Chains A and B, each alone.
Chain A
């Protein structure tokens, strides 16, 4: 009896095996024949060329697709994406009970994509993909993508790629997903770094966890977390119709430079098995080190209207390191991508102590993004809190740029060009303006802690070039810059100093700026073979003492060094050399507009002879004396009501020796009356 039962079981097993084998063979024949049908179906949705290597059925419920790929329909027909192996799992229950092939899982192994082509494909077929997803049957499904490789542009190093893993599970209305993506290197090639030879650094992967609930009109986002060793961000909200509402927070350590050696970003069954057998725990990604966090983005509140292809940011507000920031605008995902954004940070509205003396920051950008390059116009405005003690008190700095073009293709070296850059600076007492024409700049972003810029531009008939550096390892960042200008029309610089409108000639000079250890701007300038026309001081001398020649002074050299710091501004080593007039000395303007100045003015006898008022004075001077007479004087007090003192000189001594005391007092009173009449 027992022998009989064994025979029956064996027989039944052979029958099932035979049926399974037959079914497998039949299914595989059907699948092989339907390969073209599948390809035709895909062509209905996408114009790209889809190809499949083999289509196999594996009992009881798997379909394996090998060497699937999607290539460009025209041109070189290179692959956009290729999938060496894909497993489709059919629901066994549906298959047996309802005889219906229902997909319950999809797994893609080591898919590879070419990033530039994939980006173009997604951009061109975004609506079709969305349509395709919408038409998928609503059922429980698991989708996993393992060890995906996203390759950069063809010209880039092929050893370098983005490794990603992704897992999605839909069960009823519940959706959960998780995954990671990070930079990785192929092979085990070694890199020389300084004197050491090391393995290339694998990028620290960015991981994400998502949990949500499907609703009729969209999805409720219960939790979306982004994690990296230097980053943590959490969001929640919902998507209803076109509206995506999100709240959240995040923090980061921007000085994080990665880890040495390879990180295991990719999933590896053999490796995990080996680790498990050896009693080693699966590697865990370290959490963010809160003590090193330097960037806090809190209270994120946004409402985005997805009117595809237009994305309108109706509201986006957050606090960036305790500074409130709000963003509004729209992005049009067309070709090229259109961007219109207004970013604002108003310290005054926050009710918190402002960062340094910054009150408000406004940035407006309008332009297009094409081939990763931005072209457009914009404006950056910085409003400062009025300072009481320091001088010069900066109230507003405004940069307006036209024809801005930013090309990040050479990243971390950023190429930047501007058709025009207008600078506007408002202080308590003055407005400064300047316009740069056709500016080109290179921004070096490689160093995490400091950024560097080189620039050159046309400036009022001449040129300007220089560099700037921002050190980010302190807050506020330290800024330093050096500028050299050549052949600039001096009188066109009246926007910087109103008196320059009366100076004619080509100006050459240099300036250096540093915000640390104290705010300072200094430099020097020289104008050669120019002239002064109606320069205020000489105009006053001309009118008061009847010296018409002083209305226009041809000079061989006019030069001065200048310094602007938190104590004030000043011209020093001031020199004017001309045939009849020579001037030298310094002029400083400090806090509360207090002047400190000593000047020496020499006027030639020939010039003084023009004036009937100076004739008696000339008679008092020693004769024959020097060809010119020197008037040394000191200015002091508040700028609008400066005190004046005639300092001692040989000429003054001659005058004092020649006139009695009561005449001195009479002259003194006359001058006082003159000053009072001017006041």
Chain B
């Protein structure tokens, strides 16, 4: 009986930790969900504040990647290019294998062009061009889609000698190579 006591205490502690963890995750999930809800309703500012809070409190969450992209996107929409660059650069550093890297690079390219940073824009174009090596045996083009946490539809269409990027059906950027 005496030997049983520590084991029970350990099991109780584990249960408490698990419970707290679930609560923590649920709290994070709730925050992210409410951010999505606000974004879907068109309240981008509120959604952005939730994403920011989410990133600050739950940086290791599986939703952090999309939340970070959304903050970069929001900064771009309000023309706060310095913060947008910061967010997308962090995105590229933290998630280099993400399928949305090309979209983050295109945002950075547009900002460089708006700022007149020709050399940086040229480097970014080269990066986008080398990101995917494409082969077209039977098709003329290939498409990649991503719906961001701000509910904006991103689409990249690759051809043999160019790539076109659309947001909500409108041409956002075109890179020829």
Contacts and interface: CB of A to CB of B under 8 A. Distances in A.
Interface of A: 388, 592, 594, 596, 634, 636-638, 640-646, 656, 664, 667-668, 671-672, 675-676, 679
Interface in B98-157: 119, 122, 125-126, 129-130, 133-140
A297 B161 CA distance: 53
Contact of A594 (B133, B136, B177): B177
A634 B160 contact: yes
A592 B123 CA distance: 9
B144 to A, nearest CB: 13
Given A594-B129, A638-B129, A388 B138 contact: no
B14 to A, nearest CB: 43
Contacts of A672: 135
12 contacts: A592-B126, A594-B129, A636-B161, A637-B130, A638-B126, A638-B129, A643-B136, A643-B158, A646-B137, A667-B138, A671-B135, A675-B133
Which of A592, A640, A667 has the most chain B CB atoms inside 10 A of its CB?
A592
Most buried by B among A594, A634, A640, A664: A594
Contacts of A596: 161
A502 to B, nearest CB: 24
A587 to B, nearest CB: 14
Given A634-B161, A636-B161, A636-B177, A643 B137 contact: no
Contacts, number: 61
Contact of A637 (B119, B129, B137): B129
A386 to B, nearest CB: 12
A644 B177 contact: no
A127 B136 CA distance: 84
Given A388-B119, A592-B122, A636-B161, A641 B135 contact: no
Nearest to B161: A636
A594 B134 CA distance: 14
A672 B134 CA distance: 7
A388 B126 CA distance: 14
A640 B138 CA distance: 23
Nearest to B126: A592
Chain A to chain B: the 9 pairs with minimum beta-carbon distance, closest first: A645-B136, A645-B160, A636-B161, A641-B133, A643-B134, A664-B138, A644-B135, A638-B130, A641-B130
Interface residues of B, number: 18
Nearest to B136: A645
Contacts of B126: 592, 638
Contact of A643 (B125, B138, B160): B160
Nearest to A636: B161
Nearest to A635: B160
A298 to B, nearest CB: 35
A323 B125 CA distance: 37
Main secondary structure of the interface of A (DSSP, over half): mixed
Contacts of A671: 135, 137
A55 B162 CA distance: 99
Contacts of B134: 637, 643-644
B135 A675 contact: yes
A667 B139 CA distance: 11
Contacts of B119: 388
A389 to B, nearest CB: 8
A656 B138 contact: yes
Nearest to A656: B138
Contact of B136 (A641, A646, A656): A646
Contacts of A667: 137-138
A677 to B, nearest CB: 11
Contacts of B133: 637, 641-643, 675-676, 679
A672 B177 CA distance: 20
B70 to A, nearest CB: 29
Max chain A C-beta neighbours (<10 A), residue from B122, B125, B133: B133
Contacts of A636: 160-161, 177
A578 to B, nearest CB: 26
A261 to B, nearest CB: 59
B135 A645 contact: yes
Contacts of B125: 592
Nearest to B123: A592
A643 B130 contact: no
A636 B133 CA distance: 10
A637 to B, nearest CB: 5
Looking at A636, A642, A646, A668, the one whose CB has the most chain B CB atoms below 10 A away is: A636
A585 to B, nearest CB: 15
Given A646-B137, A646-B138, A664-B137, 17 more contacts: A388-B119, A634-B161, A636-B177, A637-B129, A638-B129, A642-B133, A643-B134, A643-B161, A644-B134, A644-B160, A645-B135, A646-B136, A664-B138, A668-B135, A675-B133, A675-B135, A676-B133
A217 B38 CA distance: 96
Contact of A668 (B129, B138, B158): B138
B157 to A, nearest CB: 13
B130 A640 contact: yes
B81 to A, nearest CB: 23
A592 B175 CA distance: 14
A119 B104 CA distance: 78
A636 B140 CA distance: 13
A642 to B, nearest CB: 7
A668 B139 contact: yes
A646 B135 CA distance: 8
Contacts of B140: 645
A160 B138 CA distance: 83
Contacts of B130: 637-638, 640-641
A437 B158 CA distance: 51
A634 B162 CA distance: 13
Contacts of B129: 594, 637-638, 641
Nearest to B127: A638
A69 to B, nearest CB: 75
Contact of B137 (A388, A592, A641, A668): A668
B158 to A, nearest CB: 8
A644 B136 contact: yes
Nearest to A663: B138
Contacts of A640: 130
B136 to A, nearest CB: 4
Nearest to A665: B138
Contacts of B138: 646, 656, 664, 667-668
A634 B122 CA distance: 23
Contacts of A642: 133
